Structure 1
């Protein structure tokens, strides 16, 4: 693979990872409630989920999933249910010190599950695998570079979004402001489900 192709590959994955969606909204909400350090397991889980999806797409697994209407529907329903539950939990949250359903940050496996249950993630990584496959001589090389690019891009993107949440937390002074922002983030996360059903 020519090394001058790495620039476009990493640019593509970074733009894909940084664009607003379920994972970025979740990272912002986690930064708002828990800060960056306590959100690291979730960020690592999402990044690992993205990297493993990219590797699976390179190996042809994504095309099998998307070609099976039953499996595709199961992923959509499970992913929708999980995201709606998270949206409700976020919308009902108050100030970070309050006890509630989201008493702990989302775990590594919760973050990974978010990606694995998202057909949009499958479609995005499969599209990337198809687009960049001509640049690589073997499927293993494609899987390695694509998973590395998506994993690093997810870490960069989610760290930025989580830091944005931390910045917003410093601006909020009243319970009403906290509640309004949490409701907004919950609605935004729920709205991120719409593209899942368009695939």
Structure 2
């Protein structure tokens, strides 16, 4: 496989994982409140969730979800409820309190759960599986290729968003500034649910 054939997949994965959405907003908020190191489980969970979802889409699991609208609706409802709960937590948090006993960032499983219950992410990975199927000789090979592409792209983009949150933590000084930023991040996270339902 030459770099010319893999480049379109790499660009697609970077753009789709780097664009603002629920995962990037959560990584930004986590970076601001917990720092980069304590946000690693969340970012690894999201990247692993997306990588495994891309592999599953290549294997045909997304087709099962499309064939079972009730399962898809249940996943959408559960995912939306989880994102709204996270948005509420982000919106009502104050200035960062880096005392490890007072605050806990979202876990690795929480990050993976965020992706697996997101129909928008399923649509993205299913689209990638269909668009880039010619790059691999079998569904298993395509699954590995997509998992690597999306996992690495998500790790990179989430690191950038988390670092942006960490930078905010160094720039913002007052409780009022943090209330405004947290409310904005919470609203953005809640709004990221809308494309799932439209």
- TM bucket (normalised to shorter chain) is over 0.9
Is 1:170 aligned with 2:135? no
**d(CA) in 2 for partners of 1:164, 1:56:** 31
- Matched residue, 2:48: 48
Q: Does 1:24 align with 2:24?
A: yes
- 1:2–1:135 contact (8 Å) kept in structure 2: no
Deviation at 1:11, TM superposition (A): 0.9
What's the counterpart of residue 130 of structure 1?
Answer: 130
Contact 2:96–2:169 under 8 Å retained in 1: no
Q: Structure 1: which 5+ runs fail to align?
A: none
| Residue 107 of structure 1: aligned partner | 107
State the TM-score, normalized to the length of structure 1: 0.95
Contact 2:33 2:98 in 1 (8 A): no
After TM superposition, give the deviation of residue 103 of structure 1 in Å: 1.9
The alpha carbon displacement at 1:63 in A equals 1.4
Please provide the CA RMSD for this pair: 1.3
What's the offset of the Cα at 1:4?
A: 2.2
The runs of 4+ residues in structure 1 deviating greater than 3 Å are none
Question: Which sections of structure 2, spanning at least 5 residues, go unmatched?
Answer: none
Q: CA deviation at 1:2?
A: 4.3
State whether structure 2 residue 80 is matched by structure 1 residue 85: no
Matched, 1:118 2:118: yes
CA distance in 2, matches of 1:141, 1:16: 21
Please list the CA deviations of residues 56-105 of structure 1 after superposition, one character each: whole Å capped at 9, or x if unmatched.
00000011112211011001100000000000000000011288xx8200
Is the contact between residue 28 and residue 162 of structure 1 (CA under 8 Å) also seen in structure 2?
A: yes
Distance in 2 between residues matched to 1:56 and 1:195, nearest whole Å: 22
- Normalised TM-score (structure 2): 0.96
Distance 1:42 1:78 in 2: 19
Aligned residues: 196
Show CA shifts across 1:137-163 (max 9, x none).
111111011000000000000000000
**Counterparts of 2:65 and 2:103, CA distance in 1:** 34
Number of the residue aligned with 1:142: 142
Could you tell me how far apart the structure 1 residues matched to 2:110 and 2:176 are? 29
